[in-house]
Copies of this chain bind each other. A is one copy, B any other.
């Protein structure tokens, strides 16, 4: 690594937020692409239905950001949702909360190491990437559910 490169700006906090919300917008379209009942009942290979995965994402986002900002990691449970409309409502509330919380992350936090929720010790930027990557990973699983249901999923490259 040259010294010049190691001080390079890869992406700004604002660009990271845009990256995350771009993926969240795509996940919202994937949730919406499921037939209402299949969202809660369908899976392949004995895996979890997409409603459960979507609620995992809802359960991770704001609690993780709160921990990043306050250094207090409160245990959380994903709220209950019984219909697609419930999930989409929680999704949109989360979107707004993330946008409000993000600019309050102390700038030095991205490079600090912390033990998230008392369990996962890692640098904060890696924790935030993990939250995004976990969503991409499980959403990829949702694409297979949709395809095997004969439903065309939204294009992956559209954010």
Residues of A at the B interface (CB closer than 8 Å) are 1-2, 4-16, 19, 23, 44-47, 103, 105-108, 110-111, 123, 125-126, 129-130, 133-134, 136-141, 143-149, 156-157
- Chain A's interface: helix, strand, loop or mixed, by majority? helix
The interface residues of chain B lying within 8 Å CB-to-CB of A107 are: 2, 4-5, 7-8
Copies of this chain, tallied across the complex: 2
The interface residues of chain B lying within 8 Å CB-to-CB of A123 are: 15
The interface residues of chain B lying within 8 Å CB-to-CB of A11 are: 10-11, 110-111, 125-126, 129
The interface residues of chain B lying within 8 Å CB-to-CB of A4 are: 107
Partner of A137, one of B1, B12, B146, B156: B156
